[in-house]
Amino acid sequence: MKKIDDLITEAYQISTNEALKKLDSNLSGIGKEESQKRLIEYGPNSLNSLRKSPIIFKFLAQFKDLMILLLIVCAGISLYLDDIRTAGILIAIVIINAMIGFIQEFKADKVMDSLKSLMVPEAKVYCNGQLETIEASRLVPGDIIYVEEGDSIPADGRILEENEVSTNDFALTGESNPCRKFTHAIKSVVNIGDRRNLIFMGTTVATGDAICLVTATGMNTELGRIASLSQSTKSGTSTLQKEMNNLAYRITIATLILATMLIFISLGAHLSLADAFLFAISISSAMIPQGLPAEVSVSLSRAASILAKDRALVKKLSAVETLGATSIICTDKTGTLTKNEMTVEQVALFNKTFSVSGSGYDPHGEIQENGKTLGKHELNNLQKFILTGYFASNAKIYSPDDSHPVWYCIGDPTEAALITLTRKSRIDIDMIDKQSPELKEFPFDSVRKRMSSVRVYEGDLTVFVKGAPESILDKCTRIWLPDGTIRKINKDDKKIINSQNDEMANNAMRNLAYAYKNIDKSVDYKQHDPDVVENDLIYMGMVSIIDPIREEVAGAMQAARDANIKVSIITGDYALTAKAIAIRAKLADDPGDIEVVEGSKLQSLGDSEVLNLVVRGSIVFSRVSPEDKMRIVGLVKDSGLVIAVTGDGINDAPALKRADIGVAMGKTGTDVAKQSAEIILLDDSFHTLVGAIQRGRTVYQNIKKATVSCLTSNFGELITVLVGLVALSLAGIPPAITPILILSIDLIAELFPIAALGWDEPDGELMRDQPRNPKDHIFNTSTFFDLLYTGILIGVLAFGNYLLFAYRNSITASSLTNSNLYFSAVTITYVTIVLCQLVNILVRRSRGATLSSYLFTNKQLWMAMGLSVICVLGIVYIPVINQVFGSGPLSLIDWFFAILAALIFFMFKEIGKTINRRNRLS
């Protein structure tokens, strides 16, 4: 497909005649023969899909983690050793883990499909001067198209002629208000949001109509450019995947070292080379925490389920934990902090101000004065004022339906807000329309900055006018007061009105003034110029319209600051509006700390300067392009910090894919944004995002507990095996525990309790901690010495009970090899390790004292421990299971010593926690 980059770059900078000349076109349109040639040259007006990975590859991707590969290797070794039981268990773990991840993460990449849904099936095109309807896919550069109010725009184009046309460019630019268009050239270089003489594929016409020259189609359009960015942006490895890979790498190295050591130690214990090799491999394989991947997946799935109930849908399991490491949030403004629903918030008459409750286009709301709802009499006094805005509006409002979860509008959102105000005033709109049908309309234009509607109201021929306050005031000679009286307007009155306008404009409000006058019925107003009719007007007052802040945003911002998370706003909207919204949203405790950086300035800043701004937080980046947003996100991500990015527009898709965590809005977000994100906020609430971050921190805290707990038993088992090998070498004492019993600890005795740690609630002031540094690892020097100390403690207690068992039964430990009591002897070692591990899990749950109210907050954990104890009792006492695991029954005195060992273990661990806690406080 041929590209026309030069024209796309210059289209808004050249005159309409130059644009027509460049594309060899004219207002009559190009002929069908020429259109066919260009269709072959430029290709169809459609978006190209990149190759998608087959489903089988998506499933196989679940096996790429190093920990999973290690388990597969262990299964292979077990098969080689003819240990079918162990191999079967390991393979089952691998497959179950893969299925958990695949089922949760299986989402076809529908970004291109979502973008394609924005394309229009048909377009109105001029061909040899005649307006025809053709398939939009056949549009080519040089075509002349016609668009009008309500139309979706089928291609990018240069406006040649227009009649008060404005378009809803929010999905591309982030600007909430309709964008007023014009035809003249823009000589300077400007961002996409300021290219007011262009129209763009995927947007809609809010008002008016226009004739346009098609300048770009398909992948050459702005929509196509964003599609290319979205498809070419690769998602990186999550922090949890990196951590699990790091842990698996260390375990792999440790396993190889251990296997080598065990071979030499076994040879020193007078085993043959073959027996030493088999013993070393079987013990090393058993020492790997086989249940850990499944435990992590269960914990993540559990958290994803909780988040779904909290209105946050997780598309990728690892994203749950990544949330917990988030240190930077870059949030969109429109539709994320605000509702993307224009709402009348204030009514300002000359000497009275009223507030309006409710938001968006939902008609439920009230007009209030000093907090008191207006009664029927007061509303009647305001009726003429409110109807002035209604009469001069053309938008349509509809109730929720299958495609729209909330009340929505067709047409200018500002006019929709005025119509909603009318409904809140309890005015019967249908009856009013019948009583006072429109006789003549003078549409809004950018010169007059007014719109007028002529109607018969209460027996008088009346013109109702709305527009920019300065424009309305300029045409007013009188002023209307709420009690119905009218008097001449003076300079002081205008000064007061202008002061009202300035004050509300600085609060991100868009103000519209109302005026009216009665017309002599003998005047032929239809023949008049609007400047004649819109003269000698009576000023009535103003309404203040805003895209309202979501009620819970300010609290969520405070929660983010408490959690030491830096928040900045990235928007395509204007700086003044964006800063006012930032102040309302409490982006910073002190409004003076909020800094605005416009897109033009951003492009002149160096990478280090941009990164420093984002790390500082409370920055508003305004009038930015998708490339600007991608740059900001990329700089933060490359610095090693974890960044979450919110968005709901087409223009947000590339940044959502680039970020560590892409967060899309579920209600107001485009399908493109939802498909590009890892998490979708079903209620569009910024508060839900902060709650999800808390859940993410909790997940990591629980995974860390599970991982360290899992490794603790492995260290205890290792010490028991090593001490046993030394005893075998020096005194001929048989091994105190067998590989199959070691495996049963990992897969039966501790699996359920460790998995149940996923139900643990946050311990302490988790949301006041610093965000986790992704470079910090669960398995580090401190963890190693903790595990070594705890492992030695468990190993000594377990091996001690093994020796005591022989002593109590009046035989030497070396004689156990030829005794039936050997099976009970290894079982007491097994039970001692299990009980110490259960205590270890309880001790590691909290940073504070174990015996506290927190001990009983997780019912699932106690149920899981009960299930583990039942499984252990089955291994100890059921004869058939005895044969499988090589175990034997225990007496009450044996249980006494095993429980005593667990209590000793608890005492040592609790003393250690107390010492560590005092050291931290000091």
> What is the DSSP secondary-structure string of 347-396?
EE-SS-EEEE---TT-----EEETTEE--HHHHHHHHHHHHHHHHT---E
Cα–Cα distance between 104 and 142 in angstroms, integer? 47
Closest by CA position to 141, among listed 125, 128, 164:
125
Spell out the alpha helix ranges (H) of 205-342: 222-232, 239-268, 273-287, 292-309, 318-324
- Total residues found in the chain within this entry: 922
Please state, as a whole number, how many other Cβ atoms lie within 10 Å of the Cβ of residue 880.
7
Cα–Cα distance between 359 and 545 in angstroms, integer? 11
**Burial of 219 from C-beta contacts in 10 A (0-12 / 13-18 / 19+):** middle
Closest by CA position to 297, among listed 495, 62, 577, 497:
62
> What is the DSSP secondary-structure string of 841-901?
HHHTT-SS-SSSGGGGS-HHHHHHHHHHHHHHHHHHH-HHHHHHHT-----HHHHHHHHHH
Cα–Cα distance between 192 and 225 in angstroms, integer? 12
Distances (CA, A) of 869 to 685, 805, 820, 838, 865: 44, 21, 24, 10, 6
Structure tokens at 870: 């039942």
Rg over alpha carbons for the chain, rounded to the nearest Å, is: 36
Residues with Cβ < 8 Å from 447, sequence gap 6 or more? none
Question: Catalytic annotation on 332?
Answer: yes
> What is the DSSP secondary-structure string of 817-828?
GGSTTHHHHHHH
Please state, as a whole number, how many other Cβ atoms lie within 10 Å of the Cβ of residue 730.
10
Amino acid code (one letter) for 826: V
Are the CB atoms for 873 and 804 separated by under 8 Å? Answer: no
CA torsion angle 795 800 802 806 (round to 10): 170
**Catalytic: which of 83, 156, 310, 332?**
332
Cα–Cα distance between 752 and 730 in angstroms, integer? 38
User: Starting at the edge strand that comes first in sequence, how are the strands of the sheet with 595-598 ordered?
Assistant: 312-314, 679-681, 661-665, 643-647, 328-331, 566-570, 619-622, 595-598
Cα–Cα distance between 497 and 494 in angstroms, integer? 5
Cα–Cα distance between 172 and 226 in angstroms, integer? 9
Are the CB atoms for 144 and 81 separated by under 8 Å? Answer: no
Residues with Cβ < 8 Å from 303, sequence gap 6 or more? 314, 320, 695, 696, 698, 699, 758
CA torsion angle 743 748 752 754 (round to 10): -20
Q: 């809005």: which residue's tokens?
A: 665
Spacing of C-alpha 686 from chain mean position:
9
Distances (CA, A) of 382 to 348, 378, 431, 433, 482: 11, 7, 17, 18, 7
Q: Per DSSP, what are the bridge partners of residue 620?
A: 569, 596
Cα–Cα distance between 157 and 180 in angstroms, integer? 15
Catalytic residues: 332
